[in-house]
């Protein structure tokens, strides 16, 4: 099991990549506001699910 700092750093890097990609899509017009909202909601759900699975006590 990785320590929480490694997990947080990984998620921050992932989120930064997603945000940069979304911003570039918005600039080029490849994505509209509705799609942007959907992507953000999906990202938050994914992070929430990941955090929930990480916070469960590991049975060993």
pLDDT tens for 36-59 read 788 888 888 887 877 777 666 555
Distance of CA 52 to the CA centre of its chain: 14
Dihedral sign for Cα atoms in the order 43, 26, 35, 33: positive
pTM (two decimals): 0.43
CB 55 within 8 A of CB 27: no
pLDDT at 54: 67
In angstroms, rounded to a whole number, what is the distance separating the alpha carbons of residues 30 and 44?
21
> How is residue 47 written in tokens?
């992070």
The mean pLDDT of the chain is 78
Over residues 5-15, mean pLDDT = 87
């Amino acid at each position: 099991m990785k320590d929480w700092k490694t997990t947080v750093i990984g998620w921050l890097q992932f989120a930064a990549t997603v945000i940069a990609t979304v911003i570039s899509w918005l600039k080029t017009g490849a994505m509209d506001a509705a799609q942007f909202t959907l992507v953000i909601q999906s990202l938050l759900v994914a992070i929430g699910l990941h955090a929930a699975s990480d916070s469960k006590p590991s049975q060993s």
